[in-house]
């Protein structure tokens, strides 16, 4: 009887250990899949373009909104749609001064998981004052993006913590690259960093740099 009890105990212990490892493995695969999908939709243009720009932004940042509304459309029109430049977006919420920036990034990345990053990104910047006052992103998206995204999937995604993990990864890579403010643009010619632009710069200034990067 004692041997039977020991056998049952070891059997149950083995099941528990196997379950733990299976859970961790599932979580790792789930995050990897999530990050791959989100990164796919947080980019625009031709991946084989000669120049790539990696842009770190904060959804509650005034200067990021100004860049988004005034200058990014011109970069897209003149360089991205012509196949010359590829753009990748990264999160860098300045949490010490922007209370809801991290949450904004979570909802944007979860929208990316539904393939709707760019339109939701645009909404968050266009109506920055509306949602950044109280930080109720769910109500904001329910009002502004109800037909654009599945709100149940959006909320489930945010609660899963996957976006939070990706944002923290973006912040770590940004800090390693010495991002000190937003927006920050890293302009690469191939795999070589051609220019780092920190802070808001108007299109004429950026245009000169981008023309130089393509020569």
Question: How much is the pTM?
Answer: 0.85
- Asked, for residue 31, whether it belongs to a domain, the answer is no
- Asked, for residue 1, whether it belongs to a domain, the answer is no
The residue assigned the tokens 């599945």 is 150
Question: Burial code of 110-145, b = ≥16 C-beta within 10 A, e = fewer?
Answer: bbbbbebbbebbebbbeebeebbeebebeebbeebb
pLDDT at position 166 is 98
CB 37, CB 162: distance < 8 Å: no
CB 153, CB 114: distance < 8 Å: yes
> What is d(CA 96, CA 78) in angstroms, rounded to the nearest whole number?
35
Summarize pLDDT for 91-142 with one digit per residue, the tens. Answer: 999 999 999 999 999 999 999 999 999 999 999 999 999 999 999 999 999 9
What are residue 192's DSSP bridge partners? 189
- Asked, for residue 83, whether it belongs to a domain, the answer is yes
Average pLDDT, the chain: 90
Q: Which of 127, 126, 110, 88 is nearest to 167 (CA)?
A: 110
- Asked, for residue 7, whether it belongs to a domain, the answer is no
Q: Which of 5, 68, 3, 51 is nearest to 195 (CA)?
A: 51
pLDDT at position 159 is 96
| pLDDT for residue 38 is more than 60 | yes
CB 103, CB 135: distance < 8 Å: yes
pLDDT band at 23 (very low <50, low <70, confident <90, very high): very low
- Give every strand in the sheet of 43-45, ordered side by side: 43-45, 85-91, 51-57, 184-189, 192-198
Residue 155: domain span: 39-213
| pLDDT for residue 5 is more than 90 | no
| pLDDT for residue 29 is more than 50 | no
> What is d(CA 43, CA 185) in angstroms, rounded to the nearest whole number?
14
- Asked, for residue 9, whether it belongs to a domain, the answer is no
- Which of the pair, 206 or 14, is modelled with greater confidence? 206
- Asked, for residue 17, whether it belongs to a domain, the answer is no
Summarize pLDDT for 175-210 with one digit per residue, the tens. Answer: 999 999 999 999 999 999 999 999 999 999 999 999
Number of domains the chain is built from: 1
**Mean per-residue pLDDT for 140-159?**
95
- Asked, for residue 16, whether it belongs to a domain, the answer is no
pLDDT band at 30 (very low <50, low <70, confident <90, very high): confident
Tell me if the bond preceding 110 is cis, omega within 30° of 0: no
CATH, residue 106 = 3.40.30.10
């Amino acid at each position: 009887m004692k041997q039977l009890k020991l056998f049952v105990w070891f059997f149950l212990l083995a099941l528990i250990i196997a379950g733990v490892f299976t859970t961790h493995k599932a979580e790792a695969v789930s995050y990897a899949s999530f990050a791959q999908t989100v990164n796919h939709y947080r980019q625009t243009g031709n991946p084989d373009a000669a120049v790539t720009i990696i842009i770190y932004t904060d959804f509650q940042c005034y200067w990021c909104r100004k860049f988004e509304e005034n200058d990014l459309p011109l970069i897209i029109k003149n360089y991205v749609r012509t196949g010359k430049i590829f753009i990748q977006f990264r999160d860098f919420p300045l949490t010490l001064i922007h209370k809801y920036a991290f949450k904004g990034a979570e909802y944007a990345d979860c929208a990316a998981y539904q393939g709707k990053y760019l339109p939701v990104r645009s909404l968050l910047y266009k109506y920055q004052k509306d949602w950044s006052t109280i930080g109720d992103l769910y109500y904001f998206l329910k009002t502004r993006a109800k037909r654009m995204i599945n709100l149940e999937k959006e909320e489930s995604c945010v609660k899963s913590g996957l976006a939070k993990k990706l944002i923290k990864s973006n912040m770590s890579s940004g800090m390693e690259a010495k991002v000190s403010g937003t927006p920050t643009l890293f302009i690469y010619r191939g795999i070589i960093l051609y220019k780092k632009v920190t802070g808001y710069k108007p299109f004429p200034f950026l245009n000169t740099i981008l023309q130089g990067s393509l020569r």
